[in-house]
Amino acid sequence: MKRIEYKVPDGKLVAAEAEAINGVLTKIKITGDFFMHPESTIKDLEDTLKGKQVAKLEKIINNFFDKSNIQLIGVSATDFLHVIKLSLADSS
């Protein structure tokens, strides 16, 4: 599982270590120097994504940030999806 970094234009650095087996996300760790309030939400995001179909990640990530009272600074839901996909592409 390789860590892939992505620098958000005019934003922060976000990195993902992701692994999928048979189209299902089995491992995911998101790191970086971005801001997310409340901070503990990052664990909830990772737990939400684990075990889900890769094809549905976009919808799941968007739902996650739509429904909850989370503030992102220097990174967006789209950036998370982007870097996770990069990591999956690299490890497949």
Residue range at the interface with another protein (CB under 8 A); choices 19-27, 37-45, 47-55, 56-64? 37-45
* Token reading at 72: 């992102």
Nearest to 79 by CA among 54, 62, 56: 62
* Token reading at 42: 């990052």
CA distance 63 to 6: 22
Residue range at the interface with another protein (CB under 8 A); choices 9-17, 18-26, 61-69, 78-86? 9-17
The only residue of 25, 28, 36, 49 in contact with another protein, by rule CB under 8 A? 36
Residues that bind another protein (CB under 8 A): 3, 5, 11-13, 15, 29-39, 42, 71, 73-74
